Amino acid sequence: MDDSVRRPHIDRWLKPLAVAAAIGMMLTLLMGATVTNTNSGEGCGRSWPLCGGEFGSREMIIETSHRLVTGVEGFLVLFTGIGLWRTRGHRREARVLVALMWISILVQSGMGAWAVKSPQSSMVMALHFGFSMIAVTATALTVEMLYRGTYFQSRTRSWTPPALFRWGMWFSIIAMYGIAYLGAYVRHSDAVIACYEWPACNDRFIPVMEGPEAINFAHRIAAVLGTMLVFGLFLWARSFREQRPDIEKVLMVALITILLQSLAGGLVVLTTLSLISTLLHAALMTILFVALCIGCRMTLPMRARESVAPAPSHGAAIAPAGD
C-alpha cells in the first residue's frame, strides 16, 4: 500500500477536521437517540427541512437541535472527504472511506426525513440507528488512518493472523450490527419494558416466547452470544500477541466495552428508559462496533507497496505518512 501523501499543505487542516467530523458524528447519533427516547420525532410536525412544530416546546427544541447538528456535520463530512480524496485519493482505503462517509450520512439523513414526512414501521426505524453507527465508524476509521503511525501504532508487521481468525473478526462486525439492529428494534417497538427485570425477565430466566417478551429476550440472548464471541476472539489474539500485540489491544478494548455495554443495557431496564442510560447504551454499542472494525482492518494481509505514487499536481511535494 502506498503511504505517500499528495498536497501535504491540505493535510495540516485535514487531520483536525476529521477529528471534528468524528466527534460531530457521534454527537449526531446521541442526539438522534435523544429524539427517540424523548419522543421528539414529531417536534417539528410533518415538515422537513423546515420546522412547523409548537414553538418553544421541548420536543421542538430537541428535534431542531438534532437537525441543526446534522446539517453542520454534513459539511464537516463533505470537506473531510474532499480533503482525503485530494491527499490520498490514490489509495483504495481512502476511496472506500470517502464513499462510506458520504453514502452513510446521506442515507441516514434521508431516512430521518422519510420518518418525519411519513411514519415508518419499527423495522425501518431500527435501520436509522444502524446507518448512524456506520457513519460514526467511517469517520473514526478516517481519523485512525490519518494519525496512523503518529498517535496510533503503525501496522507495519508482515505477520498475518490465521485465516479462520480473520473470518471470525469479520463475522463479529456482522453479528454486532445485527445485535445493534435488534436492540434498536426493541426500542422502537416499545419492547424494552416487556421485561421489567434484569437479568431475569418477569420473574423468569426464560420467559414466554411470544410477543414483546420474545423480542426482548432474543436481544438478550444475542448480546450474551456476542459477548462470548468477542471473548473468544480476545483469547485467540492473546495466543499470538508477540507477533501482533495491536490486535490483542483492540480486542481488549472491545471486550471491556461489550461488558460495560451489557451492564448499560441492564441499567436501561432498571431505570425504566432513563435518558442517561439509553445514551450510554447507544454510545458503548457504537464504540464496540468501531473497535471491531479497526480490528478487522488490522487483520488484512499486508499488500505489496505500489511502485510509484501518482505525480503531484501544481508542483506539490510528496511527504511520507505513516501507514
- Burial of 75: CB neighbours in 10 Å, binned 0-12, 13-18, 19+: exposed
Neighbours of 230 (CB within 10 A): 23
Taking the C-alpha atoms of residue 110 and residue 31, their distance in angstroms, rounded to an integer, is 16
User: Is residue 213 annotated as a catalytic residue, yes or no?
Assistant: no
Inter-CA distances, 196 with 192, 199, 213, 262, Å: 8, 10, 10, 16
Listed in sequence order, the residues at least 6 apart from 82 whose beta carbon sits closer than 8 Å to its beta carbon are none
First to last CA, the chain: 8
C-alpha span between 195 and 206 (Å, rounded): 11
Virtual torsion, Cα 310, 313, 316, 322, nearest 10 deg = -30
Active-site option among 54, 59, 63, 197? 63
148 backbone dihedrals φ, ψ, rounded to 5°: -60, 130
- So which residues are the catalytic ones? 63
